[in-house]
Chain A
Amino acid sequence: DAEITQSPRHKITETGRQVTLACHQTWNHNNMFWYRQDLGHGLRLIHYSYGVQDTNKGEVSDGYSVSRSNTEDLPLTLESAASSQTSVYFCASSAWTGATDTQYFGPGTRLTVL
């Protein structure tokens, strides 16, 4: 069955370190997304990609970057981790059909920045 996976599931790091969160999907979807979920804010879009070599900033992109070298993977990098980036991160993918835009989510990565 097609799925979307994230790794690691839990990560503790220190302020200033570079961190990369992995996202891998086997849906063969063109669209991939990264969100963060915090108390009181719901899901907020960080970055998204419509295909290989395409990346776009979402509403909370500062301090994050992504790259898309193939269809299956969209790693999220925190260049210099800050305590404000402690959160739960979700990756999602979708296939635009013109009629629907259902996003399928991974299990999440809990990141703690000390």
Chain B
Amino acid sequence: GESVGLHLPTLSVQEGDNSIINCAYSNSASDYFIWYKQESGKGPQFIIDIRSNMDKRQGQRVTVLLNKTVKHLSLQIAATQPGDSAVYFCAENLMTTDSWGKLQFGAGTQVVVTP
């Protein structure tokens, strides 16, 4: 499949445990954040998003936390499953009319789920 990156930070998680993936974003004016999942040989897949006026948002088995004070974003995956093995990366956007679609992507974290 398509190469995603061989030099990414790797998080090894045992099946059934919770995963926490961290992302430090660059622009304090960013207003919108997204987490994507990319499996080998596939395109990035939307997981969850959050606006800067929130500090937490929950989805199905996933929770995103936003700490604007330290410009930190995290993705928590509950009860990690083998199908969660993938590269996860965050993206940020200023959400101004000058920045439509200009998502700034992080480098990504490789999550490996072990039995």
Contact = CB atoms under 8 A, between A and B. Distances in A.
A45 B49 CA distance: 20
Interface in B1-26: 2-7
Interface in A35-72: 37, 39-40, 42-43, 45, 48, 50
A110 B101 contact: no
Contact of A37 (B4, B45, B51, B102): B4
A33 to B, nearest CB: 6
Given A37-B4, A107-B43, A102 B106 contact: no
Nearest to A4: B43
B108 A102 contact: no
A104 B7 CA distance: 25
B34 to A, nearest CB: 6
A92 B36 CA distance: 13
B44 A105 contact: yes
Interface string B76-115: 0000000000000100010100001111011110000000
Contacts of A50: 100-101
Contact of B46 (A43, A98, A102): A102
Contacts of B106: 42
A11 to B, nearest CB: 12
Interface string B44-66: 11100101000000000000000
Given A101-B100, A105-B43, A108-B42, A43 B5 contact: no
Interface of B: 2-7, 32, 34, 36, 41-46, 49, 51, 89, 93, 95, 100-103, 105-108
